[in-house]
Amino acid sequence: MARPFALDFYKQNTDVVARELLGQTLVHIVNGKRIAGIIVETEAYMGAEDPACHTFGDRRTSRNQSMYLEGGHAYVYLIYGMHFCFNVVTRTTLEPEAVLIRAIEPTEGLELIRANRGKVKESDLTNGPGKLCAAMKIDRSCDGLALNKAPLLIERTRARVLTKNEVIASARIGVDYAGEAAHWPLRFSLRGSNFVSKPRPEASLKL
């Protein structure tokens, strides 16, 4: 049985955590049933120094207060008044940084995922931050939960080290307003996965 990461894992540099989470498994236990998927796409948000981050300049609001928890807790927020986004808080209480989980490949609880998402193609079930939250029933009630125990956790399911060629680093999505930071290569995805969100990084990068 795969074991959850200890909270210490999340104290590493945020971009390192973002890469390391690829291939690991996000699990939400709902009514005693596991809904799970392999993480295939992430983005790092670098805290007070990152204009694209909710905690840029150490801003602290009722929405983002979970980012000031220790690494290894959940930060879930509502975007555009409609969709939830799930983040993993990293570092320490003095460094409010996080990793946005943008896409997963469903592995457990397929019937529940389909029921939560309605009638869409298999590859469209969880290939975006809002879609994955809907599929896994992650909402604001999950905000602030520790990720080393039920009901919400991340398990180590990838033992071997990823080769450089298996990971694509590209610019983050939807942060054009952030100036130079919009170009920082902080989006990470598994090359060749059919469950990565659009736009697919292969399409916008020279290979």
Partner DNA sequence: GTACAGATTGAG
Partner DNA sequence: TCAATCTGTACT
Q: Which of residues 74-113 bind DNA (CB under 7 A)?
A: 75, 77-83, 85, 87, 98, 100
Least Å distance between CB 60 and DNA?
8
Contact 84, 94 (CB under 8 A): no
Q: In whole angstroms, what is the distance from residue 37 CA to residue 117 CA? A: 15
Token match 């709902």: residue?
30
Q: In whole angstroms, what is the distance from residue 43 CA to residue 22 CA? A: 11
Contact 13, 186 (CB under 8 A): no
Told to check if 179 binds DNA by CB under 7 A, we report no
Residue 78, class by beta-carbon neighbours within 10 Å (0-12 exposed, 13-18 middle, 19+ buried)? middle
Least Å distance between CB 120 and DNA?
6
Q: Which is nearer to DNA, 27 or 53 (CB)?
A: 53
Q: Which of residues 37-76 bind DNA (CB under 7 A)?
A: 43, 45, 52-54, 59, 61-64, 75
- Residues forming the site for DNA (CB under 7 A): 43, 45, 52-54, 59, 61-64, 75, 77-83, 85, 87, 98, 100, 117, 120, 124, 128-132, 134, 172-178, 197
